[in-house]
Structures are given as C-alpha cells and as structure tokens.
A and B are shown apart, each in its own frame.
Chain A
Amino acid sequence: MKFSRRAVLAHIGAAGLSAALPVRSPAQNAYADLEGRPWFFFNDEQARFVAAMVDIFIPEDEFPSASQAGVVDFIDLQLAGPYGRGEGLYLQGPFPESTLPTQGYQLPYPPAELVSRGIEEVEGGQDGIRLVDRDLAGREAFVGALSGTQQSPVAGGFFDEMLKLANWGYFADPIYDGNRDYAGWRMVGFPGAHAYYLSFVDKHNVPYPVDPKGIAHVPGEGPAEFLETRSREG
C-alpha cells in the first residue's frame, strides 16, 4: 500500500516532524521537501486541519484512512484547479440571507474560497481547542458538531463541501492523486475504468475478483503516478 507520506506526516504535527526526519534539516516548507513538490493550494496549517477532518470522515481500519489514501493531496489539487475556482458554478448576485434548503448552494464563494473561509471560521473551534490539537475523541466531537451545523452558512457549506471532497478523493480515479493504490476501489471491490462484462453479467452470484485498473493503469504495477513524489536528494 502506497500511503501518502506527506499526509501521514501531517498528523505527526510540526513538533514530531524533526524527530521523524533526522536525516535532513527542516526546510522552509517541510512537506514540499518531503514530497518533492509544494502544496498547490493549502498552506501547512490548512493541510493539517484538512487531514484531521477527512480522517474523521474516513478513518483507518483494514483499509487506509482518507489522508493515507491521498485525499488531502486530491483536495489540494482540486481546490487549486478549475473546480476550486468555481468553474461550472453560477456566481452572479444578489445573494440573499434567507434561502431555502431546496434551493441548494447560495453562497458567493467558489469552493476554494469556501474551504479557506470555512477553516478560518471553524478552526478556533469549540472550547478554543483547535482540531489538530485534539485527541481522536476530541476530533470526532469537533467534526460531529460541524455536521448539520446551523452555526453559519459558511460553516454548513464548508462541512458539506469537505465531506463531498473527501468522498471524491477516496473513490475517484487515482489520476487525481487520491484513491492511492486503488485504496477505495479495493475496499469495495470495484474493478475500475477498464470494464467489459458481457460474458459475466448474467452469471449470478459468481465472484469477480479482478484487481482494479484505473484510467492510467500501468500493467503489472498499478496506477501511474503523474505527480510522483521524490525526495530532492534522489
């Protein structure tokens, strides 16, 4: 299983970082140095927050957690790109205060801005203890309290957006840098993008245990890594 090293390390926190990396002096952007590329959208603080949050959504069990499966990297890329900029979103005003739930999203922010604002708004958090400084139970309580929150439209929109992005990142094709090593697909048994079932659809209750294959599958290996992460020392 190829975990996202960077996201795993995000959990260690800044304090643990130097201990985890005895061989190198801390660079200006520790994560960039670890993975051979910088974050595209997040700063380190935001990345830690997101890693903590998505791992409450999708925790580790026999299968990887969201951050282990690259979901933080996925979200970072999505928010840095056209999706984050609000492509395909109608953003003309006015934006009234009072809206109906049946009318859907009514904030003036594209997803990237919604996430930045959302983190900023909720991070100070309940009881003044930040999400990343809490233990597991504390993190669950923090995220649980955001679920269905009426705290503010931004907080509610942010929660919905993060849950959607985490789900996308865990199950989308690995070309988007999540679903590492087909973690999400292996979990459910989804064979992926290469699909031909004409001879099997009417064979009832027969297992179909193929290995997943994504759009950019390298035969005999697994998903191609377009953003392959190498240390600078390599």
Chain B
Amino acid sequence: MTILIRTLIATAASAAIGLVVVAEAQNFQDAPSVQSLEARLDNDARLFGAAVDVEVDDDLLEAGRLVAMGGAENGGSGMACITCHGAQGEGDGSGAFPRLTSLPAWYMYKQLIDYASGDRPNRVMSRIASRLTEYEMEAVSAYYSVLRSPREPVIGEVDGELLQWGAQLGAVGSAERGIPACVNCHGPNGSGLAPSVPYLAGQYARYMEYQLQLWKEGVRDNDPLNVMSTIAQKMTEYDMRAVSEYYARVRAERIQDDGVAVVPE
C-alpha cells in the first residue's frame, strides 16, 4: 500500500496536478485527524517560540498539512513536501530525502530558515523554503513533528565490525582521535534531543553519511558554532559510514501499534 501511495503522489506532483489531487492522496491514506495529531503535541515537539508567536494548535497543524501537500500562500513551495519526504514524512533511502517524521519542530523550522537564507545550501530545498512564509515554515515543521510512521527496514547487510565501531563511536567516541560520543547531544539512544538536536536512530544511513561529508567539507555549517564540522573533520570515511549504518539500524522507540504506524510488508 505504501508503494502505491508514493506512486500516486509522485504522479500527481510530476503532472503538476496540484493540491486537490494530492489532498486526495493524503485522504486516501486515512491520515490521522488534526485533532489526534494535536494530542501528540507533547512539549518536546513544540516550537519553543521559534519565531512567530502563535499557539501550536489544530489551525497550525491544518496549515502545516496544507503546506506539506504543496498548498501555500505564495503559490506554495512549488512542490509538495510529501512528494519526496512522503505523506508521513518517511523519506527514502536515497540519501537525499531524510525521514522527517517526528523530528523536533524547532529543528525543522531552523533548517527551513537556513535553507531559505542559504546557510544550509541545497538547490532544491533553498528554492522551496524561500517561497514559504515564516508562519508556513512553523506550520509545516509542527505538522511533521507530530506525524508517526513506521521505520523502513534497513536494506543491505554490512560488516559486523563496522556496526560495532559505529556503536562504539556513538556511545563513547574515540579518545585516540578526539571524537566525542554522539549520545552527548543526540538524545537517548540517538533518539534526538528536542528542540534543537535531530534524531539519528532510524534515519537513513546514506543521508547521515552524506551530511557528515558535507559537515566535514564545510559545505554544511548551520549548527550553532559549527560543532558538527569540528567533529566531522576528525572522522574518517570509515567512521562516518560506521555511525551512519549503526544508527540507521537503531530503534530507539519500542514499536507501538497505535493505529498509525503500520510496518509495511
């Protein structure tokens, strides 16, 4: 079913059919009601007064859903978020489209700001973000922060030693090379530390590895005081692959069948 929906969405977007059809696709998947999403707006998902002083409520989530599906004030982003990141924010394993589901809202909002300003350079995302209003950035960030979707099974086998090294770097870093442990900042088991630190657990390996390379090369430097570049510069290609492959396989949260998250066949 998941595959079918993605095909539908892709078709809709590429044919530039627009909001109505995409919205239908969304409805087709029995997305959770905004009210039920609002109930999930726990403290950690909130915007922490990111910029626009608005209540995080169902209006905001409704607006967020609209943006996610490509509809927005300034003609929208020109592209629906769900086209690439999926209706549930599930992304894909290509390395280009990270999982957005339940990332902290403040973090996503800041990425959109940075895409728009060029602080996080990315041709596609910069163009999209620069056409969103601040309110829309907040809305779509809040929306994705409360979505839940199943983790994609990690495809491909990797060397056990690589995973072990990734786990070690994640938990205790490397004294020899001066690499601090990932868990210092990325939350319990790499599950993220809202509002400002994204999760690693269950994110796509190729995305994380690619981002680490960008940090290392200094292409990406939009975290406060450039902490990640300093760390990535101490890492080898092997280190980066190791932590990425490891965290892609970590399931920080116990799988709960709350009626939304259904593991695809």
Interface size, chain A (Cβ < 8 Å): 18
Per the bound structure, the CA–CA distance linking A155 and B76 in Å amounts to 73
Please give me the residue from chain B that is nearest to A197 by CB atom: B196
- Bound-state CA distance A213–B42 (Å) is 14
Of B43, B48, B185, B227, the residue contacting A211 (CB under 8 A) is B43
Contacts of B48 in A (CB 8 A): 200, 206, 208
User: A220: CB under 8 A from chain B?
Assistant: yes
Which residues of chain A have C-beta atoms less than 8 A from B224's C-beta?
A: 198-199
Does A145 touch B at the CB level, under 8 Å? Answer: no
Q: Which of B18-26, B90-98, B166-174, B249-257 contacts A (4 or more CB under 8 A)?
A: B249-257
Chief secondary structure at chain A's binding surface: loop
For A196, what are the chain B residues with a Cβ–Cβ distance below 8 Å? 185, 193, 196-197
Q: How many A-B residue pairs have CB under 8 A?
A: 49
A210 interface contact, C-beta 8 A: yes
User: Which residue in chain A gives the minimum CB-CB distance to B189?
Assistant: A219
Q: Is there an interface contact between B187 and A220, defined as CB atoms closer than 8 Å? A: no
Residue A209 interfacial (CB < 8 Å): yes
Q: Is B188 in contact with A219, judged by CB distance below 8 angstroms?
A: yes
Query: Is the beta-carbon distance between A209 and B46 smaller than 8 angstroms?
Result: yes
**A199: B residues at CB distance < 8 A:** 110, 195-196, 224
B110 to chain A, nearest CB (A): 8
Interface mask (B182-219 → A, CB under 8 Å = 1, otherwise 0): 00010111010111110001000000000000000000
Does A12 sit at the interface, judged by CB under 8 A? no
Is A219 within 8 A of B196, CB to CB? no
A residues less than 8 Å from B189 (CB atoms): 219
| Cross-chain contact B195 with A221 (CB below 8 angstroms) | no
Decide yes or no whether A194 CB sits under 8 A from chain B.
yes
| Interfacial chain B residues near A213, Cβ < 8 Å | 187-188, 193
Instruction: Report whether B256 and A194 are in contact in the complex, using a CB–CB cutoff of 8 Å.
Output: no
- Does B119 reach chain A (CB closer than 8 Å)? no
Q: Which residue of B lies closest to A219 (CB)?
A: B191
> How distant is A176 from chain B, measured CB to nearest CB, in Å?
17
Instruction: Name the contact of A198 in the complex, choosing from B110, B191, B196, B252 (C-beta under 8 A).
Output: B196
Q: Tell me the smallest distance from the CB of B137 to a CB of chain A, in Å.
A: 16
In the complex, B175 has a CB within 8 A of chain A: no
Residues of chain B at the chain A interface (Cβ within 8 Å): 42-44, 46, 48-49, 110, 185, 187-189, 191, 193-197, 201, 224-225, 227, 252-254, 256
Give the 5 A-B CB pairs with smallest separation, nearest first.
Answer: A219-B191, A217-B188, A209-B43, A198-B224, A220-B253
